[in-house]
Chains A and B, each alone.
Chain A
Amino acid sequence: MLGRKRGALDRFRVLDLTQYIAGPSCTALLAGMGAEVIKVERPGGGDPARRLGPFPKDTPGNEHSGIFLYLNAGKKSVTIDLKHPEGRGIFLRLLAVSDLLVESFSPGAMKGLGLPVAGLRKRFPTLVIASVSNFGQYGPYREYAATELTAFAASGLMALTGDPEKPPLAPPYPLAQHVAGLTAALGILISLWTYQASGWGSAIDASLTEALTSCSEHNLTWFSHQSRVRKRSGSRHPDNHPMTILPCRDGHMGVTIGFGQWDRLSLLVGKPELADDPRFETGAGRRQLADAIDGALLPWLAERTREQVLEEAQGLGLPFGAVLDINELLEDKQNRARQYLETVESPESGRWQVPGAPFKMQTTSWKQPRAPFLGEHLGEVLCGLLGYSSADLARWRRERVVS
């Protein structure tokens, strides 16, 4: 049965001009759901993510970058020099048979290549074009440089993260690039739904900063409704408690209770008298007395491992969550039972487990096969799909239009 499942997007062809993480994470989602993604890479080095890492035994190699292998699973790679007139001609032929173009150059770079988005839309009226960038395609900061760190700061999330007496803190994982890729994917899918039927194209402008700001919780409404500016408050929630991280015997525990669960927490830690104390009745009241509450919880936690805490807390319906180290995700019971992890391989250097489908679709499939070698699919795409002859291909290789 599994082999016969179709991907939800297996009738769409995507031309992928993206590099690094944000754009490729968008097209990785589309490829996972079955879209044919043709990655157009620069001859020579290709996507710079091929040189990012991590590398097996810390030994760099163009086909071994872990993050590249993860984000480009199942895509096809062609190498075309878009600065060469003939390369641009091949690219336009490809565009004519594609449903979607995704690019992540800095704003204006497409125009510099002689491929301005407005012009492409005129020429290919049913094409959906998505651009992913730091700050978007227009506006005063459109050309600003950014990294994960500076995007996190610009978005408003960093002001909320970290200890009050220390500098604001950013996470070390590529959050901004992933959510930007996700918002682009959402805009693309809505466009395909709407415009495919009516024969219109569409242009999506996704940015790291807007995608991240959209992940803000209530702090934006605190300000717009009450002119209150939220600040960082460590792992504690600013106006409810407990929603925090506390140490236990073998590590740390995410200690959170839902509405009306204070009495259950009091029971859990063997202090039922706390349930009757009116000072602890509301989340805001408990937040005022957070130190006292943590003081009551810590001895109980210190006697128990994460597994024991989880079992007892979840047994009472309390939404606790253990702080798991990354290596523990490999052995995690739930991940195993749901076969969450997928394998990436690099034929020369090994096989590793990576995160798999972000959601499980029951009727349609998710696929995450091997990532392409640089230029692996030149023949298949140029000759097979576009009908060029192998003599054409050989000449282009010689003239370094493709490589």
Chain B
Amino acid sequence: MRRGAGQGRAPLEGLRIIDMTHQWAGPLCTRLLADMGAQVIKIEAPRRVDGVRYAVLPRGYQGSEPWNNGAAFQKFNRNKQSLTLDLGAPEGRRAFLRLVLTVDALVTNFSPRVMRNLEIEYQRLRRARPDIIVLAISGFGATGPYRDWSAFGTSLEPMAGLASLTGYEDGPPMRLGVAIPDPIGALHGAAALAAALLHRRATGEGQLIDLSLRESAMRLVAWPLLDYQMNGRTAERMGNAHARMAPHGCYRCKGKDAWVTLAVRSDEEWARLRQLLPPLDRGQFATTKERLRHRRELDQVVEAWTSHRTAAAVTAALQSLRIPASPVNNSKALFGDPHYLARGFFVEIATPGQGRRHYPGLPYKMLDLKGSLPMQPAPRLGRDNARVLGGLLGMRAGELGLLRRRNVIGTRPLGQ
């Protein structure tokens, strides 16, 4: 049998990464690496834990330790270790600098201002550890006039130009239902870190990666940016319509709030779709040009047909003719989707106090790993304090007790 990762170590086993990120982009970035076997040590100060620990708590949650029971925290922090350490305290800072000597990389998503205040900028760390790789994720980047601006994914989507493109015809600019710059930045960050590791293996050089979430999201606007310069055209919002395809849209189906999307890319596809629709005037809509010109009328014809059918039936009929179509799936549909089930997209993780739950697994498949990587639940706050500070740094029980009494480490958020 062929030897592959499935028969041996996890792909990133042996890598150690300090994760000083919070909320979404940073934690997702390091989770992509933790899922692949990297040892990711998440550091939180007892007086300032990751705010996402409290997101998506069970409805009316009255139980103990809410900071260990939020579902969103589980999703972004599985397979990691949890160390509490207050870098504002001298003892915490000393322990942190010793820890830096033992790791391959540090990932942060503090603003550049907080990095300076905590005195953990790359320029300082590289003095202690010349080949360290620091991935500093921020909203706008570590330089420039906006560098210290606060940013959330929901405010970067407008700043990246994305919101100006999204919306209904004649309507205001809109956000997507997810704060898309966060996962886009997370994926770019993980890729950049992997590339930096390859470079370090070849040359011994570490480096700083300055990742602006806004800049990584702006990679998506090349088309309208070029069209503006080449043709003076300012992109207009046009709902689900497309400049070069018709029909192209989202159509009502049988059922409550049920919808299907479909896209006809060519006259050949239109000829095939026409076989399904009720008879039309001869030649009507035959060319893309005509279909684009009579788009609204065409949409009515299509919706008159879809509205008596389920989204699944419309999709099956169109896909059998090789025409792109899909139901507008909600989260419930995704968890029962036969394709995702067949691919093992969702993974089941047993979480203390929460039972067995399903989460999205890897965003891509590595074929040698089919289902073979173990998934560990997200750690309770401070679970790995002794393992990291004692095991890795050799601190004795007395020292740990002192750090605990001074609230440099702990297993509860301060003030809770």
Q: Which residues of A contact B (CB under 8 A)?
A: 6, 8-9, 11, 25, 29, 33, 53-58, 66-67, 70-71, 121, 135-141, 144-147, 149-163, 166-175, 178-179, 182-187, 189-197, 200, 202-207, 210-211, 213-226, 229-235, 237, 243-245, 247, 252-254, 256, 258-259, 314, 317-330, 333-334, 337-338, 340, 344, 350, 352-364
Report chain A residues within 8 Å CB of B228: 326-327, 330
Interface of B is mostly: mixed
Report chain B residues within 8 Å CB of A139: 339-340, 342-343
CB distance from A206 to the nearest CB of B (A): 4
In the complex, the answer to whether B12 meets A194 with C-beta atoms within 8 Å is: yes
Q: Does B409 contact A (CB under 8 A)?
A: no
A-B CB contact pairs (8 Å), 24 listed: A56-B231, A57-B230, A146-B326, A147-B324, A150-B326, A156-B331, A169-B166, A169-B239, A172-B166, A183-B363, A186-B364, A187-B364, A190-B12, A205-B365, A207-B364, A211-B364, A213-B345, A221-B71, A323-B173, A325-B164, A338-B143, A362-B122, A363-B196, A363-B208
In the complex, the answer to whether A174 meets B220 with C-beta atoms within 8 Å is: yes
Known A-B contacts A359-B189, A362-B209; A67 and B359 likewise in contact (beta carbons under 8 Å): no
Report chain B residues within 8 Å CB of A179: 183-184, 187, 363
Q: Does B3 contact A (CB under 8 A)?
A: yes
Report chain A residues within 8 Å CB of B363: 179, 183, 186, 206, 210-211, 214
In the complex, the answer to whether A182 meets B155 with C-beta atoms within 8 Å is: no
Complex partner residue of A150 from B144, B227, B324, CB under 8 angstroms: B324
In the complex, the answer to whether A8 meets B152 with C-beta atoms within 8 Å is: no
CB distance from B169 to the nearest CB of A (A): 11
Q: Which residue of B lies closest to A11 (CB)?
A: B202
A355–B221 alpha-carbon span in the complex (Å): 8
In the complex, the answer to whether B157 meets A254 with C-beta atoms within 8 Å is: yes
CB distance from B326 to the nearest CB of A (A): 4
> Could you tell me which residues of chain B, from 150 to 172, have a CB within 8 Å of some CB in chain A?
150-152, 154-168, 172
A84–B225 alpha-carbon span in the complex (Å): 39
Q: Does B59 contact A (CB under 8 A)?
A: yes
In the complex, the answer to whether B331 meets A229 with C-beta atoms within 8 Å is: yes
> Could you tell me which residues of chain B, from 246 to 268, have a CB within 8 Å of some CB in chain A?
248-252, 257, 259-263, 265
In the complex, the answer to whether B240 meets A149 with C-beta atoms within 8 Å is: yes
Q: Does B367 contact A (CB under 8 A)?
A: yes
Known A-B contacts A146-B326, A150-B261, A159-B177; A254 and B221 likewise in contact (beta carbons under 8 Å): no
A215–B223 alpha-carbon span in the complex (Å): 22
Q: Does B270 contact A (CB under 8 A)?
A: no
In the complex, the answer to whether A359 meets B158 with C-beta atoms within 8 Å is: no
In the complex, the answer to whether A358 meets B216 with C-beta atoms within 8 Å is: yes
A-contacting 9-mer, from B39-47, B50-58, B83-91, B284-292: B50-58
CB distance from A354 to the nearest CB of B (A): 5
A218–B76 alpha-carbon span in the complex (Å): 10
Q: Which residue of B lies closest to A260 (CB)?
A: B51
A320–B220 alpha-carbon span in the complex (Å): 21
In the complex, the answer to whether A326 meets B234 with C-beta atoms within 8 Å is: yes
A339–B251 alpha-carbon span in the complex (Å): 43
In the complex, the answer to whether B230 meets A55 with C-beta atoms within 8 Å is: yes
In the complex, the answer to whether A329 meets B58 with C-beta atoms within 8 Å is: no
Report chain B residues within 8 Å CB of A6: 199, 203
CB distance from B152 to the nearest CB of A (A): 5
Interface string of B313-340 (1 = CB under 8 A from A): 0000001001111111111111100111
In the complex, the answer to whether A225 meets B209 with C-beta atoms within 8 Å is: no
Complex partner residue of B161 from A161, A187, A213, A326, CB under 8 angstroms: A326
Report chain A residues within 8 Å CB of B188: 182, 358-359
In the complex, the answer to whether B75 meets A221 with C-beta atoms within 8 Å is: yes
In the complex, the answer to whether B223 meets A245 with C-beta atoms within 8 Å is: no
Q: Which residues of B contact A (CB under 8 A)?
A: 2-5, 11-12, 24, 32, 36, 51, 55-56, 58-59, 71-72, 74-75, 122, 139-141, 143-146, 149-152, 154-168, 172-180, 182-184, 187-192, 194-199, 201-203, 205-212, 214-216, 218-231, 233-235, 238-240, 242, 245, 248-252, 257, 259-263, 265, 319, 322-335, 338-340, 342-343, 345, 354, 357-360, 363-368
Q: Which residue of A lies closest to B174 (CB)?
A: A235
CB distance from B294 to the nearest CB of A (A): 19
In the complex, the answer to whether A8 meets B250 with C-beta atoms within 8 Å is: no
Known A-B contacts A156-B334, A358-B219; A252 and B225 likewise in contact (beta carbons under 8 Å): no
The 10 closest A-B pairs by CB, nearest first: A160-B177, A321-B155, A363-B207, A66-B226, A189-B194, A214-B363, A337-B144, A254-B158, A319-B150, A215-B183
Q: Which residue of A lies closest to B225 (CB)?
A: A326
In the complex, the answer to whether B257 meets A245 with C-beta atoms within 8 Å is: no
In the complex, the answer to whether B226 meets A67 with C-beta atoms within 8 Å is: yes
A354–B221 alpha-carbon span in the complex (Å): 9
A95–B192 alpha-carbon span in the complex (Å): 25
Report chain A residues within 8 Å CB of B222: 66-67, 70-71, 354-355
Give the tally of cross-chain contacts (CB within 8 A).
488
CB distance from A242 to the nearest CB of B (A): 9
In the complex, the answer to whether A360 meets B75 with C-beta atoms within 8 Å is: no
A9–B92 alpha-carbon span in the complex (Å): 36
Q: Which residue of B lies closest to A67 (CB)?
A: B223
Report chain A residues within 8 Å CB of B167: 169
Known A-B contacts A323-B173, A338-B141; A359 and B192 likewise in contact (beta carbons under 8 Å): yes
CB distance from A209 to the nearest CB of B (A): 8
In the complex, the answer to whether B250 meets A170 with C-beta atoms within 8 Å is: yes
Known A-B contacts A167-B252, A338-B141; A54 and B184 likewise in contact (beta carbons under 8 Å): no
Known A-B contacts A169-B239, A243-B152, A321-B156; A213 and B177 likewise in contact (beta carbons under 8 Å): no
In the complex, the answer to whether A324 meets B158 with C-beta atoms within 8 Å is: yes
Report chain B residues within 8 Å CB of A322: 158-159
- Select the residue from B206, B225, B326 with max chain A CB neighbours within 10 A: B326
CB distance from B372 to the nearest CB of A (A): 14
CB distance from B208 to the nearest CB of A (A): 4
A55–B227 alpha-carbon span in the complex (Å): 7
- Select the residue from B159, B223, B331 with max chain A CB neighbours within 10 A: B331
In the complex, the answer to whether A163 meets B330 with C-beta atoms within 8 Å is: no
In the complex, the answer to whether A359 meets B210 with C-beta atoms within 8 Å is: yes
Complex partner residue of A147 from B146, B192, B265, CB under 8 angstroms: B265
Report chain A residues within 8 Å CB of B257: 231
Report chain A residues within 8 Å CB of B150: 258, 314, 317-319
A167–B328 alpha-carbon span in the complex (Å): 10
Report chain B residues within 8 Å CB of A218: 55-56, 71-72, 75
A379–B178 alpha-carbon span in the complex (Å): 47
Report chain B residues within 8 Å CB of A8: 195-196, 198-199
A245–B32 alpha-carbon span in the complex (Å): 31
Report chain A residues within 8 Å CB of B359: 220-221, 224
Report chain A residues within 8 Å CB of B75: 218, 220-221
Known A-B contacts A193-B194, A193-B198, A215-B184; A170 and B152 likewise in contact (beta carbons under 8 Å): no
Known A-B contacts A200-B4, A323-B164; A225 and B158 likewise in contact (beta carbons under 8 Å): no
Report chain B residues within 8 Å CB of A70: 222, 226
Report chain B residues within 8 Å CB of A230: 177, 330-331
Q: Which residue of A lies closest to B12 (CB)?
A: A190
Known A-B contacts A171-B176, A364-B199; A190 and B11 likewise in contact (beta carbons under 8 Å): yes
